[in-house]
Structure 1
Amino acid sequence: MSDVLFTSRATAKNGRDGHVKSDDGLIDVNLVNPAKNKSDKGSNPEQLFAAGYAACYDGALNHVAREKKKKIDSETTAEVSFLKDPEDGGFKIAVKLNISIEGVGPEEAEELAEAAHDFCPYSKATRGNIDVELNPTVK
């Protein structure tokens, strides 16, 4: 294993209809399965994954831009969809990253988006496992 820089911990109890809490208490939310329960308030694994992926990808995008000496302002929204998997009858997820970049033209935005996707740890972790669509736009 590579040199560990830090480790984050969270514990879930009772799965999609339970509760998740980080070891530091910053994340402390009830979980609700929106496919079965539309009335109760709570988060779900896809929403938590979307938050993490959006933050990680946007950080990677800004890193790549700095390395290329580009001054940008960016915002990334991750849409994580919960899908039926026709191959095994189970479920899977797919991601669409909506990336808004200010400070470059459309071609440079596309190049930065692709470079960030190559660099982002979440993208590396999911590569070849789930469909990820990049949707860069310029402000």
Structure 2
Amino acid sequence: MSVIPLRRILYTAEAITEGGRSGHGRTTDGRLEVELAVPEDMGGKGGPGTNPEQLFAIAYGACFQSTMLAIAQGRKLDAGDARFTSRVDIGPTAHGGFGLRVALDVHAPHLAPAEAARLMAEADQRCPYSNATRGNIQIMLTVDGTPIEKVVKNDQGAA
């Protein structure tokens, strides 16, 4: 897979970290500042700080949901009250080192499940986080816990 260059840069986020996973991070514009802590599950002390996986879960979920909302709005669909749950797993790989896995689930009470699944599939093609991770990590997309492929298949079988 080849890298697709940006035609232009719309925005640049810049952050400074010190101390790695047990350190401190802040954006250079001062809008975000966090203490970092390694979770006990990963052999750390835990503590009040956040971790990169939590930050990635929020960032990916927010970006994906914004993409899906824009698509829904363009189709005049009501997805405004949709709620996303995003999970980021980290663990060792068979090749040594560590890898990630992401799960994105939507609850969209004003959309039919099949419509929500189709919106998620299209958002997955447009979202910059999905495009950045495609082919690198496993992404699971679900509507109320059901994989989007199964939701669409069940909808087609019911027709």
* Structure 1 position 83 matched with structure 2 position 94: no
Q: Deviation of residue 38 (structure 1)?
A: 4.2
Offset of residue 78 of structure 1 = 1.1
8 Å CA contact 2:86, 2:103 repeated in 1: yes
**Higher relative helix content:** 2
CA apart distance, 1:40: 1.6
1:93 aligns with 2:100: yes
d(CA) in 2 for partners of 1:39, 1:5: 36
C-alpha separation in 1, matches of 2:33 and 2:125: 32
Q: Which has the higher contact order (CA 8 A, sep 6+)?
A: 1
Verify: 1:23 aligned to 2:53, yes or no: no
Supply the RMSD in Å over aligned alpha carbons. 1.5
Do the aligned partners of 1:109 and 1:137 also contact (CA within 8 Å) in 2?
A: no
- 1:11-50 correspondence to structure 2 within 5 Å: 11-34=16-39, 35-50=42-57
C-alpha deviation, 1:102, in angstroms: 2.3
TM-score between both structures, scaled by the size of structure 1: 0.92
Q: Identity of paired residues, percent?
A: 36
Query: Contact 2:38–2:46 (CA<8 Å) still a contact in 1?
Result: no
Mark the runs of 5 or more structure 2 residues left unpaired by the alignment: 1-5, 146-159
- Shift in alpha-carbon separation, 1:128–1:39, aligned structure 2, 3 A: closer
Q: Distance in 1 between matches of 2:104 and 2:50?
A: 20
Gaps of 5+ in 1: none
Query: Which amino acid in 1 is paired with 2:92?
Result: K
- Report how many residues are paired: 137
User: d(CA) in 2 for partners of 1:40 and 1:102?
Assistant: 36
Alignment partners' CA distance in 2, 1:52 and 1:74: 16
